[in-house]
Structures are given as structure tokens and as C-alpha cells.
Amino acid sequence: MENRETLPLHTLQVNKAIVTMNRAYISVHSLLVLALLYYRASCLFFFLTSHSQPWTFTLAWFLLLTSELILSFIWLLGSAYRWQPVSRAAFPERLSDDHRLPEIDVFICTADPSKEPPLEVMNTVVSAMALDYPAEKLWVYLSDDGGADVTLYAMRQAFSFAKVWLPFCRKYGVRTRCPNAYFSMENKEYDGQIRSAEFLNEREKMKFMYETFTEQVERAVEMGLIGDDNLSKAAKADRAPLIEVIGEKELDIMEDHDKMPHLVYVRREKRPTHPHNFKAGALNVLLRVSSLLSNGSYVLVLDCDMYSNDPTSAKAAMCFHLDPTLSPSLAFVQFPQMFHNISPNDIYCGQLREFFKVWWYGCDGLNGPLLSGTGFYIKRAALYGTAPALDLPKDLIQLRQWFGHSNELLRTLPSDYKCNIVDNGLQSNGLLQQEAHLLASCNYEKGTKWGKQVGFLYDSLVEDYVTGFRLHCRGWNSVYYDPPRPQFLGSTPNNMNDFLVQNKRWSSGLLEVTFSRFCPLTYGIMSGHSILHTMCISYCAFMPLYSIFALCYATVPQLGLLNGISLYPKVSDPWFAVFAAIFISGSCQHLLEVLHTGGSFRMWWNELRIWMIKSVTANFFGCLDIAIKLIGVKQVDFGLTSKVTEEDQVDRYAKGIFDFQGSGLILVPVVTSSILNMAALIGGVWRVIVEGNYSELMVQLFLTLFITISSYPIIEGFAIRRDVGRVPPLITFFSLICTMVLLSLGFIVFTM
Ligand SMILES: O=c1ccn([C@@H]2O[C@H](COP(=O)(O)OP(=O)(O)O[C@H]3O[C@H](CO)[C@@H](O)[C@H](O)[C@H]3O)[C@@H](O)[C@H]2O)c(=O)[nH]1
Ligand SMILES: [Mn+2]
């Protein structure tokens, strides 16, 4: 038998058939796109030089060419994802003994107990404590940006519960170690290897203890420990730092077999006059504070709603990090984001299938995926701001310019530094506590490179994207690992408003990078990054600009149709075939890819529909946000996604009914486009019947019909439904006005 130390810790596979098919598709589709652009551009040139058409017609032609150029450009960038997809397997059981494993710090962020229920946050905390990893090498940190006493209280209770929960999970081999997920499992077959009477008995006891814990936390929440609104707002904006190692004394006297990871509560200082840089700011505080206490060589980052669903993730990640050939330049191992609350119909496409089943696989075949905010194990040293093989500055003055003036922090930077906090303890060591508070203070980062080069970067609301991108530019690589059992599970928005607000944040965050000096296309290439990987990264950055295409295609051809103006080739014209072929080739490729990645026909349709909705709303408003920011009027805001579940919303989501409750002006473009397309369809059909010029208007008629059909849930939302989840009447009213304006504009332009 082979020695387990000589067996590979991981393997990599290239699916040759998929690669060949993808490349063939890219080649054919590229030719078609080139033909289309040639047709548009040459016609436009002819109109401009011959003056054979009124200027308004030329303008419409120009708008369509621009939008097709944008679409083609983004499509081209995205094709890089399909060039070289790979998949990986890891074998954690082949890792050497536990005592040779490196220390890991887990960072969990929460920001507001009213939007992120403390009980859910604690479930994430407990699941992270229960990772299958040597307890003395695991430290779990919670950053509480809400500064809520109830969260601290809940954490102390969670620690007490973990004292019984962890030994139970270890003893019976329970894999689902998030207590809430474990006790709400519907299958009769309990997770846990031993199905003896003893196990069942213990399980009942554990269930009772979990219920007691739940009650304690919920009572604390109800009793108003969250505080009255003004108080909690003040606590969020203006407060001193507070750091507590939970149950520190108990840990020291614990027996070896029920050892627990350390658990640390961190509330950073906040002052209204200081920018706090949202999640990136919170993570950087955790990086500094943890360097004093545990200084784990690797960090696992989790959102507070993303619990660990399989305890093996830490060891699986180490299979890559500890591989001597990969390790020197490997910055992080990213797991996919997956969600526990996806309904079978998944109308908002919360699974993010393309991201996690296509794009990151594609990136992995090049230099690796980007950071995805949560569920990644990153090397601490990769966040120090240097290239993989480069040392930190030797000079103390320069080091202080990078990391700030804490000598204690600077002492932790060398790779051979060993932390001895376990001997000292935080609570009993006044000096250490003072230092930790200093590191969590607002002023600490002033004049340093934190957020600019060191730690998580502040250049954008999507701190994950920009940090991952800059790491790659510095020469670091990453690995994507998507094992059969989801390692982490989070919650995804279950209503239109949350979905759009989240996507708007992503759009504006991405565009913040696009329109900065770090624009991936230029900065990536200038820093010597490979073209294909740069294209992948740039795709995300340019993706929100899809909105320009979508807005044009949802209005211009329709207004033309209503006024009898043809903007596409006749059915009998050979160029018609190019348009038809592009539509068919794009749709078929999408459908095949959905089916290949485990999806269904319905998922294909849902993705198409949600893409159209998102493009004209969230992406469009993201563009507006950035335009406003660029002219210096307003700063972009984070807009936390709510994790509170309202029963009727869950119900509508489960039934696959769109829920527009609470959505504001962001809906206007999509409602307007639905009304306009409906009107254009009726007008267009009438025109075809009366005038009989069916061949010339065929493409526009088809496009309008297609958009109207896919807009059905919107049309139903404003015209038919009467429940609270319908489109708010005021939005319908605004949209009607917008439609009138567009119709009049179309009439003026096309009949001039
Ligand atoms: O000032 C803040 C704002 C947010 N958060 C935390 O950041 C996380 C993500 O926030 P959420 O509202 O859940 O955003 P999502 O859109 O669901 O998050 C996705 O997008 C973010 C970037 O916009 C990434 O950071 C996330 O990891 C990724 O899951 C949560 O744990 C929050 O508690 C903070 O700690 N401080
Ligand atoms: Mn989230």
C-alpha cells in the first residue's frame, strides 16, 4: 500500500470535451458577432454619407450599434471563462498529523442585529467553532459593527452551548454542525454515525439544550436588549472599542478531549466623523486584533449568515495551502457560495449558478477565482501588501508607514513569530488589552497603508472583488474548490427589493473599480497579468454596463415598430440570418450550459428573465450611482441585505410569485419597459395586419413579443394582482408617465 504522505493531496481535471465545445462555440459566435457589427456599421456609414435617411433614423441606428458594441465587448470578455475550465478534488484524509497543521483564525462579520438576527449569527459562530480542526489551532472572531449588547450576550450563551454541542458532534460524527440546520433537518435518518439508543437519547438532550439557548437569545432580543432605536443608532455610529475573549478562564482548565476553540468578540471604535469602510474596515480590525491574540497563518472569512455546513472545509483548504508546489504563491482557496433557503423555482436565481458553476471554474483554469466575500481560506501574509516572494520592508520607519505604530503588531509580522497569548490571557493582561483597543480604534489606520495596500481594500463597496483582483495583480494565485457537499450555506434574498438592492450595490461597487485607476482592463494588463485572466476579471467590472444595451433594446426597436420604422434586415435579406443565428447560438449555448451544470429548462428561462429585469433596474441604478459619485455629489452606501424572514414573503417566494413589496423607484424602468413593450406589441400587430409589411418589422415584432412574454410577472404585478406583493400603485403611476414620455418622444423622433 502507498504511504498516505506520498499520495497527492489534491487533483486537477480538465474536461477536454467541454473545452473543445466551448472553443468551437466562441469561434463561431465571434464570427457571427463580427458580421452583425459589420452590417450595422456599414449601413450607418452609408446613411451618414448618403443622407438618404432622416437624422432621427440614423440616430436610432447609432444607438443600436452602440448597444450591440457594448454587448459584444462584454460577451467577448466573458468568453475567457469558457476557455479553460478545470475542476478539482481534495483529499483531507491524506493530510499528515494534526500537530503539523497551521493555526486558522475564523472571521465572522455582523453589522446590525435588526437585519441580521443574533440567533442566526450565533448559529454561524457555533458552526465555525465546530470545524473539524485541532481546537487549540482554531480561533473564532466575531466583528460586531452593530455594537449591540445583545450580540455580546448571545455570544456568551453560544459559548456555553458549544461546550456541549462540540463534544456531541465529535462523538457521533455529526456533519451538519450548525445547530439550527441540524435540528430542522427533515430526513428521518439522523446525521450522526451511531444510530444507537444512546445517540438518540443524547440527541434529544441536545435538542432541549438548543431550545433553551434559542429561548435565551430570543428573550434577550425581545426584552429590548437591542435597545430603543435611537440608542442603537447612536451605538452604531459613536462608541468605544470593546474586545472580549469569551470564557477565557474556562478554556485554560478544560480537559484535552473537550477542548474548544477560542471565541472572541470584537466591537471596533466608531465615530460619526470617521469613515468606517464597511465590511473591509471590520475585517482589517479583525486582522490586527487577531494578530495579537492568535496570529493564525490562515484566515477563514464568513458572512454572519453563512454557516459551515461541513466540518471538513478547513482541512480540505489545507490540502492546497500545504502543497509545497502551490503554496508559495497561493493566496486563497475559495469555496462556492451556496444557499439554504433557495426555493425549487428560484425565481430570483439566487443560486448564482453562472458565478459558481461556470465563471469560477473558468478562472481556476487560468490564475484562479477572485474572492467571493465569504467562504474562503486566505493566507494572512498575502494580505500584507507584498508580492509572493517579496519580503516586507526591513526598516522600522517604513514598516510603521505600512502597518501603523503598534510595535506589538509589527512584532507579529515575521513568518517565524509565535504567539503566546494562551499563557498570558487577554482579560488579565491590561497592557495587551490596551494594545488591542488601540488596534481597533478609528485613528489607527490614519497615514498607513491599511485599506490601500495592506489588508482588505477600501477602493470599492465590493471589497472582495477589488482585494482579490489586486492580489492577483501582485502575482498571487488562488484555487477554487467546489466539493459535492456544500461546505458553507448562506441565505439569499427572497423578495424583489432585497434582490435589486443587493445587485445595485454590486453594480456600483464594480463600477467604482472600473472607473478608477485600478480599472482591471488597463491595470491588469499593465501589471503583467495574463490576457485571458484579465478578461475574466474585467468581465465582472464591465458587466453592469449591460444596462445600456438592455435599455436600448427594450425601447428603441419598439418605438420604431410603433411608428412603422424598420431597424433590422427584412426576412428575405441574407443579413437577417445573422441576427437569427446570433440569437439561436447564444440561447442554445446558455441552455446547454444550464443543463450541463445541473439546471433545468425552467432555470434557463428564469435566468434569462432575471437578467433582463436586473439589467434595466439594479445595473442601471448602479451606473447612475457611480455617475453621481464621479461628479462628486454623493458617496455610495453599503445597503445591508436583510436576513429577517417575513412569513408571507417566504410563502410567496416558495410559490414562485414575485414579491414587489417595498420596492421603490428602482422598479420604474422595468415596469415602464413592460408597458411600452405591451403597447408596441399591440401597435405592431395592428400595423402588420393593416399595412401588411410583416417582413420588414419581423425582428422588432419578435423582440417585442419576447420581452412582453418574459415580462409577464411584472405585467401581472401591476395590472392583475391585488395582494400586498404587487407592484406599488405609485410605481405603476410613475411608470405610466414615463411610458407616455417615451411614446411621445418616439413619435416626434420617428415621424420628423
Ligand atoms: O458595515 C458593514 C456592512 C456589512 N458587514 C457585513 O458584511 C457581510 C455581507 O453583507 P450582506 O449585506 O450580507 O451583503 P451580501 O450582498 O449578501 O454580500 C455579498 O457581497 C458583499 C460585497 O458587497 C460581500 O462582502 C459578501 O461576502 C457577499 O456575500 C455581512 O456579514 C455583514 O454583516 C459589516 O460587517 N459591516
Ligand atoms: Mn449576505
What's the gap in Å between 341 CA and the centre of ligand 2?
A: 12
Q: What is the DSSP string of 469-506?
A: HHHHHTT-EEEE---SS-SEEB----SHHHHHHHHHHH
Which atom of ligand 1 approaches the CA of 301 most closely?
27
Mean pLDDT throughout 45-58?
A: 86
Residue 138 three-state SS: strand
- Using the atom order of ligand 1, give the atom closest to the CA of residue 283: 35
Does position 29 have pLDDT exceeding 80, yes or no?
A: yes
Q: Is the CB of 512 under 6 A from ligand 1?
A: no
Mean pLDDT of the region 242-250: 86
Q: How confident is the model at residue 608 (pLDDT cuts 50, 70, 90)?
A: very high
Pull the grid cell for residue 297. 497563518
Q: Is the CB of 283 under 6 A from ligand 1?
A: no
Q: How far is Cα 98 from Cα 110, in angstroms, rounded to an integer?
A: 31
* Ligand 1 site, residue 278, Cβ cutoff 6 A: yes
Cβ pair 305, 490 in contact under 8 A? yes
Tell me the CA–centroid distance for residue 502 and ligand 2, in Å.
9
Q: What residues are annotated to the active site?
A: 145, 464
C-alpha 328 – ligand 2 centre gap (Å): 31
Distance CA 553, CA 68 (A): 9
Q: How far is the CA of 181 from the centre of ligand 2 (A)?
A: 17
Residues with CB under 5 A from ligand 2 (ion): 303, 641
Contacts of residue 602, Cβ cutoff 8 Å, sequence gap at least 6: 345
Q: Is 116 in the pocket of ligand 1 (CB under 6 A)?
A: yes
Query: pLDDT above 70 covers what percent of the chain?
Result: 94
List the grid coordinates of 498: 432585497
User: 625 in ligand 1 pocket by Cβ < 6 Å?
Assistant: no
The mean per-residue pLDDT over the stretch 601-628 comes to: 96
| Residue type, position 637, single letter | D
In this predicted model, what pLDDT tens digit does every residue of 641-682 receive, in sequence order?
888 888 899 999 999 999 999 899 999 999 999 999 999 999
Q: Looking at ligand 1, which residue's alpha carbon is closest to its atom 19? A: 373
Ligand 2 centre and the CA of 643: distance in Å?
A: 8
CA distance linking residue 192 with residue 171, whole number of Å: 9
Ligand 1 centroid to Cα of residue 507, in Å, is 14
509 lines ligand 1 (CB under 6 A): yes
C-alpha 652/C-alpha 674 separation (Å) is: 22
Express each pLDDT in 137-168 by its tens digit.
Answer: 999 999 999 999 999 999 999 999 999 999 99
> If you average pLDDT over residues 608-621, what whole number do you get?
97
What integer pLDDT is reported at residue 237 of this predicted model?
A: 77
Identify which of 109, 457, 461 to mutate to test ligand 1's pocket (most ligand atoms within 8 A of the CB): 109
State which ligand 1 atom lies nearest to the alpha carbon of 143.
Answer: 35
Measured distance CA(544)–CA(302) in Å, rounded = 26
At 84-126, the pLDDT tens digits run 999 999 999 999 888 889 999 999 999 999 999 999 999 999 9
Q: What is the mean pLDDT of residues 205-218?
A: 96
Our mutation pick for probing the ligand 1 site, out of 233, 270, 303, counting the most ligand atoms within 8 A of Cβ, is 303
Q: What is the pLDDT of residue 2?
A: 47
Q: Is 157 in the pocket of ligand 1 (CB under 6 A)?
A: no
Q: Is the CB of 742 under 6 A from ligand 1?
A: no
Residue bearing the CA closest to ligand 1, atom 26: 373
Q: Output the pLDDT for position 633.
A: 74
CA of 727 to the centre of ligand 2 (A): 25
Ligand 1 pocket residue status of 491, Cβ below 6 Å: no
Give the Cα separation of 677 and 671 in Å (integer).
Answer: 10
Please tell me the distance between residue 373's alpha carbon and the centre of ligand 1 in angstroms.
7
Quick check: ipTM above 0.95?
A: yes
> What is the rounded end-to-end Cα distance, in angstroms, of the chain?
85
Return the ligand number nearest the Cα of 115.
Answer: 1
pLDDT category, 229, cuts 50, 70, 90? Answer: low
Q: Which ligand has the nearest atom to the CA of 304?
A: 1
The confidence band for 233, taking pLDDT boundaries of 50, 70 and 90, is low
Residue 108, ligand 1, Cβ within 6 A:
no
Closest-CA residue, ligand 1 atom 31, reads 303
Tell me the percentage of the chain whose pLDDT exceeds 90: 79
Which helix (H) or strand (E) segment is 246 a member of?
strand 242-246
Nearest ligand for residue 510 CA:
1
**465 CA: nearest ligand 1 atom:** 22
Q: How far apart are CA 697 and CA 699, in angstroms?
A: 6
Cβ(121) to ligand 1 under 6 A?
no
117 lines ligand 1 (CB under 6 A): no
Q: Which residue minimizes the CA distance to atom 9 of ligand 1?
A: 303
pLDDT-derived band at 691, boundaries 50, 70, 90: confident
Q: From the CB of 547, is ligand 1 less than 6 Å away?
A: no
Average pLDDT, the chain: 92
Decide if pLDDT at 744 tops 50.
yes
Ligand nearest to the CA of 501: 1
Q: Output the pLDDT for position 513.
A: 95
Out of 32-36, 502-506, 747-751, pick the least confident. Answer: 747-751
Pocket of ligand 1 contains residue 297 by CB under 6 Å: no
Shortest-distance atom of ligand 1 to CA 282: 35
The stretch 460-476 carries a mean pLDDT of 95
User: d(Cα 85, Cα 88) in Å, to the nearest integer?
Assistant: 10
CA of 491 from ligand 2 middle (Å) equals: 7
Atom of ligand 1 nearest to the CA of 108: 31
Instruction: Select the more confidently predicted residue: 420 or 399.
Output: 399
Tens digit of each residue's pLDDT (9 = 90 or more) over 69-80: 999 999 999 999
Q: Measuring CA to CA, which residue among 527, 521, 522 is closest to residue 543?
A: 521
> Ligand 1 atom 2: the closest Cα is on which residue?
278
* Ligand 1 in reach of 79 Cβ (< 6 A): no
Residue 497 contacts by C-beta under 8 Å, 6 or more apart in sequence? 659, 660, 661, 662, 663, 664, 666
Supply the pLDDT for residue 585: 96
Rounded CA separation 139/440 (Å)? 18
CA 326 to centroid of ligand 2, rounded, Å: 30
The ligand with the least distance to the CA atom of 141 is: 1
Cβ–ligand 1 distance for 505 under 6 Å, the answer yes
- Indicate whether 194 pLDDT > 90: no
What is the position in ligand 1's atom list of the atom closest to the CA of 111? Answer: 33
Q: How far apart are CA 330 and CA 382, in angstroms?
A: 8
CA of 338 from ligand 2 middle (Å) equals 11
Q: Which residue out of 283, 467, 640 has the highest number of ligand 1 atoms within 8 Å of its CB and is therefore the one to mutate?
A: 640
- Quick one: angle between helices 729-751 and 546-562, nearest 10? 60
Q: Is the CB of 498 under 6 A from ligand 1?
A: no
Q: How far is the CA of 67 from the centre of ligand 1 (A)?
A: 32
d(CA 514, CA 541): 6
Ligand 1 binding pocket mutation candidate from 143, 239, 279, 355 (most atoms within 8 A of CB): 279
**304 in contact with ligand 1, CB cutoff 6 A:** yes
